[in-house]
Amino acid sequence: MNLISPVSVFLIPFMAALFLPMLRLFRKDASKLFSITVLLAGLCISGMLLGAHAQGGTNHYYFGNWAPPAGITWKSDALSAFIAAIVCLITFMGACASPAARPGAAVRAQVPYFMCLLLMTAGLIGIVFTGDTFNLFVFLEVSSIALYALAGSGRDAKGAFAALKYLFLGSLGASLYLLGVGYFYAATGTLNMDDIVMRLQAPDALQSLGFMGVLLVFLGIAIKMGLFPFHGWQPDAYAYGAGPAVTLIAPIVTKVAAYALIRYLFWIVVPAGIDIYFLLLCIKTMGISAVVIGSVMAFKQQNIRRMLAYSSVSHMGLIAMGIGMGTKTALAGALLHMFYHALMKFGLFLAAVEIETRYGIKNVRDLSRIRGAAPLTMILFTVCALSMAGVPPLAGFFSKWYLLYAAALIQDYLSAFVIAASSLLSGLYFFKALETGLFKPAAEQGDKEPLPPTRALPFFTLALGSAMLLLGFWSPFLFKWLSDTALKEIG
């Protein structure tokens, strides 16, 4: 079997997750090191896969050598390789940032935590690469179950309740998605994505069933994606879930769901000839409201992580606007923003969780207490916050710029205005946090002795900070690559 294939990117974390408990027999605290190694291997292979698809082209893997449409097909093309690389990168960094090395951390709890982490990665990779609709549901649920367990892994009931809420809403989303798959199956008799397209293109196809399917699939994915007004689980889950787990989850899961939506809308539904103009308009409207309302809510928040959660809602709105606009330029901008936002959110949550575990600070107004005490963490927070607000030449500016460009190309001035305004709005709440943290005179110190910082933090600050700058300069090439190669098949 060829090593550079989508299946290996999936199998490595999956098999590792299954073998992880056995490691405890050899070395008690090897879980974190093992996971990091495994995820690094996955990252390398997904990077090589991305390189193999640099010029486009697809790679198929037929499970059990059953030819489609009877068997399950996995295909990787430039788009899925791109998303898979992002997933591998973020999970690798998230595993590095997990608290196994912290003094006093319970060793016994590490194994389930890292198992769930690896399973979640495997599930997300499965979603990215699969070419079969039901297979997508399976991996959606695999990753989601690992997610709910990870999010609820903290010691307190608040986190458990937030994770439970996420579970209810997430399973509602997955069930809606499954219903949608059922409608597609009823319309075409097949589960293979390419085959669905072919059968729906036939002149006597039951397109109305297909449209109903799209609607349900969209509703399901919208809940998983955290698209307004279906974002109900996000603020609590991100604010109260276990800290390191949230750092891992928050950046990628919603992005993978958005990718699934893009795959459905533009690779299955549009080629099949189903008219989704109105649906795209709805998506765009939801995106616009998400941007505005998410930003307003973020500004009102006291809890840092809750503010970041609403910020995610509003940026997801930006991505939704890109999807809703439907042109190749807009989609490339949305994908670029997915990538940058994943990195930025990761950095922000890393900094926020760091501050929370070291100093016990949860609220924005308490940030002044650590003025001058945690320079690297604040640098990380500042750089990522500025990038989120869209300050050039950091990366965030460019993804918003391309979305703006796409909106102007189709003369959608409302969207353009909202995108531009989103920078201002993001700036509002981030600058409030930055002002409190950097400029306010230090208030009275708490009497808790701060814990030592995570060992890897300087590395992350350096890596993410320089990534923001470098990606900023590299953006035009990335954008061109995305719109030409990854999205080649879209009109």
Partner 1 sequence: MFLLGVYAMLAARNLIRKIIGMGIMQSAVMLFFITLSYKWGAKVPIVPHGGDHEAVDPALYANPLPHALMLTAIVVGVSLLGVALVLSVSIYRELRTLEEDEILKKLEDPVS
What is the pattern of x (binds partner 1, CB under 8 A) and - over residues 357-396? Answer: -----xx---------------------------------
Give ∠ CA 88-405-89 in degrees, rounded to 5: 5
Query: Is 161 a binder of partner 1 (CB under 8 A)?
Result: yes
Tokens of 157: 């009931």
**Which CB, 303 or 357, lies closer to partner 1?**
303
**Which CB, 126 or 152, lies closer to partner 1?**
152
Round to whole Å and give the CA distance between 174 and 136.
10
Q: Which residues contact 259 (CB under 8 A, 6 or more apart)?
A: 79, 80, 83, 127, 128, 338
Q: DSSP letter string over 354-368?
A: HHHHHH---BGGGGG
28-to-190, 387, 445 alpha-carbon distances in Å: 47, 40, 38
Query: Is 52 a binder of partner 1 (CB under 8 A)?
Result: no
Query: Is 356 a binder of partner 1 (CB under 8 A)?
Result: no
Q: Which residues contact 213 (CB under 8 A, 6 or more apart)?
A: 180, 181, 182, 183, 184, 187
Q: Find the binder of partner 1 among 182, 393, 453, 458 (CB under 8 A).
A: 182
89-to-114, 146, 331, 381 alpha-carbon distances in Å: 16, 18, 22, 19
Least Å distance, CB 289 to partner 1, is 22
Query: Is 463 a binder of partner 1 (CB under 8 A)?
Result: no
Query: Is 185 a binder of partner 1 (CB under 8 A)?
Result: yes
Q: Find the binder of partner 1 among 61, 92, 129, 148 (CB under 8 A).
A: 148
Q: Find the binder of partner 1 among 149, 257, 291, 308 (CB under 8 A).
A: 149
**Which CB, 53 or 165, lies closer to partner 1?**
165
Round to whole Å and give the CA distance between 121 and 9.
10
Round to whole Å and give the CA distance between 221 and 176.
8
**Which CB, 240 or 264, lies closer to partner 1?**
240
* Cα 443 off chain centre by: 36
Query: Is 122 a binder of partner 1 (CB under 8 A)?
Result: no
Judge contact between 359 and 453, C-beta under 8 A: no
Query: Is 63 a binder of partner 1 (CB under 8 A)?
Result: no
**Which CB, 174 or 269, lies closer to partner 1?**
174
Query: Is 66 a binder of partner 1 (CB under 8 A)?
Result: no
How many Cα atoms occupy the beta-carbon half-sphere of 298 within 13 Å? 30
Query: Is 18 a binder of partner 1 (CB under 8 A)?
Result: no
Query: Is 138 a binder of partner 1 (CB under 8 A)?
Result: yes
Radius of gyration of the chain (CA): 22
* Helix, strand, coil share of the chain (percent; to 5): 75, 5, 20
95-to-99, 220, 466 alpha-carbon distances in Å: 9, 28, 20
Q: Which stretch binds partner 1 (CB under 8 A): 9-17, 130-138, 319-327, 375-383?
A: 130-138
Distance from first CA to last CA of the chain, Å, rounded? 35
Least Å distance, CB 214 to partner 1, is 17
What is the pattern of x (binds partner 1, CB under 8 A) and - over residues 280-319? Answer: ----------------------xx----------------
282-to-29, 164, 172, 488 alpha-carbon distances in Å: 50, 29, 20, 25
Q: Which positions from 211 through 270 interact with partner 1, judged by CB under 8 A? A: 239-240
Q: Find the binder of partner 1 among 33, 164, 421, 438 (CB under 8 A).
A: 164
**Which CB, 111 or 379, lies closer to partner 1?**
111
Q: Which stretch binds partner 1 (CB under 8 A): 36-44, 155-163, 346-354, 423-431?
A: 155-163
Query: Is 445 a binder of partner 1 (CB under 8 A)?
Result: no
Using alpha carbons, select from 313, 300, 294 the residue that is nearest to residue 238. Answer: 313
Least Å distance, CB 216 to partner 1, is 10
Q: Find the binder of partner 1 among 11, 33, 111, 134 (CB under 8 A).
A: 134
Least Å distance, CB 439 to partner 1, is 24
Judge contact between 317 and 337, C-beta under 8 A: no
Q: Which stretch binds partner 1 (CB under 8 A): 18-26, 140-148, 366-374, 438-446?
A: 140-148
Size of the site for partner 1 (CB under 8 A): 33
Buried b (16+ CB within 10 A) or exposed e, 148-187: bbbbbbbeeeebbebbbbbbebbebbbebbbbbbbbbbeb
The residue ranges that bind partner 1 (CB under 8 A) are 134, 137-138, 141, 145, 148-149, 152, 156-158, 160-161, 163-164, 167-168, 171-172, 174-175, 178-179, 182, 185-186, 191, 239-240, 302-303, 362-363
